[in-house]
Amino acid sequence: MSIVINTPNGNIGRPLVEKLLKAGRQVTVISRTPEKVADLMKQGAKLVQGSIDEQATLDAALVGAEALFWLSPPAIRPDFQDWAKANGRLAAERVKAHGVKRVVLISSIGAQTGPGTGPVSVMKPVEEAFQAAAPNVVSLRAGFFMENLLRDVQSLAKAGALFSAYPETKAFPMVATADIAAKAAELLLDPSWTGHRYVGVHGPKDVTYPEVASILTQVLGQPVKYVRVGLEDLRNGMLGAGMPAFAADTFVEMYGAAQDGRMDPAEPRSKETTTPTTLEQFASTVLKPVVERARAS
């Protein structure tokens, strides 16, 4: 019986597949482009070629499956919310039809709020769809990805600044995607848990943006300041960087929800929700080389 991974090319899905294969498990990956997962196939993964929004693809992947890992890809498209919710519901229907007993899905802090949280708005309906379809479901409600700082490479390299709408005093969980993959692997390899659970994935500690700037100052060897901007200025900045208006609007909605607490974690920080990779480690190994290349260009 295999474990099905719907996003084997991402920052979470790829290390997850590798961890499962190294543990000796049968893994089925869904991908439209075989060449992108050729290395995983060499390691033993089975490929089902196709799209995650196609019933035939899901049926081919889920035959005889013991578990499904599901991540709603952050597609930049005007109908993203409807598309992502429809995909989750379709996958949940096929999970029920094939008798798949376990689902581990990537959700987010703020998912408990539902509508009005930008791209996070899709998470609660997807959680509920899988909970209605399978007896054992874990929703991994992850914090702000450390990898999102890669979007700030140019401003870090050229201006020594981080721009966001977060209040300076508001602390939030920040987590490396490698740690999310490790948590997902831990759950998929553990047959003992049962029922429907929400598990926070919060990184080692909550941080404020000024604290992030201070850490980056030390690691990057250059002064980094945090500049708080208004929501409209944030929107204009995203539009100026070439982001489509519909995408800018949804991210502005998310940051507005963050300002008034609707994106706060519902799951308290605990030993279970705390993960090991520090921002210092991430910045040193992942962010700094990219910033240095941007400085040199």
Q: What is the pLDDT of residues 171-192, one digit of tens each?
A: 999 999 999 999 999 999 999 9
What are the tens digits of pLDDT across the range 187-223? 999 999 999 999 999 999 999 999 999 999 999 999 9
Amino acid at position 262, single letter: R
Smallest CA-to-CA distance from 144 within 265, 36, 63 is with 265
Token match 């409600």: residue?
141
In the predicted structure, residue 269 carries a pLDDT above the cut 90: yes
Per the CATH hierarchy, to which homologous superfamily does domain 2-146+174-201 belong?
Answer: NAD(P)-binding Rossmann-like Domain (3.40.50.720)
Helix axes 80-98, 123-133, angle to 10 degrees: 10
pLDDT at 1: 82
pLDDT at 170: 95
Distance of CA 178 to the CA centre of its chain: 10
pLDDT at 241: 85
Residue 297: pLDDT band by 50, 70, 90 thresholds? Answer: confident
46-50, 237-241, 270-274, 280-284: the lowest-pLDDT one: 237-241
* Helix, strand, coil share (%) of the chain residues, nearest 5: 50, 20, 30
Residue burial 134-148, b: 16+ Cβ < 10 Å; e: rest: bebbbbbbbbbbbbe
Amino acid at position 160, single letter: G
Average pLDDT, the chain: 96
For the segment 59-70, the average pLDDT, to the nearest whole number, is 98
For the segment 230-254, the average pLDDT, to the nearest whole number, is 93
In the predicted structure, residue 76 carries a pLDDT above the cut 90: no
pLDDT at 75: 75
- Separation between Cα atoms, residue 25 and residue 102, nearest integer Å: 15
For the segment 118-145, the average pLDDT, to the nearest whole number, is 97
- Separation between Cα atoms, residue 162 and residue 228, nearest integer Å: 8
- Separation between Cα atoms, residue 15 and residue 74, nearest integer Å: 18
18-22, 73-77, 250-254: the lowest-pLDDT one: 73-77
Indicate the pTM of the whole model: 0.96
Residue 195: strand pairing partners: none
Token match 């070439």: residue?
242
- Separation between Cα atoms, residue 95 and residue 110, nearest integer Å: 25
For the segment 142-168, the average pLDDT, to the nearest whole number, is 95
Residues 6+ away with beta carbon under 8 Å from 116: 253, 257, 262
Share of the chain above pLDDT 70, in %: 100
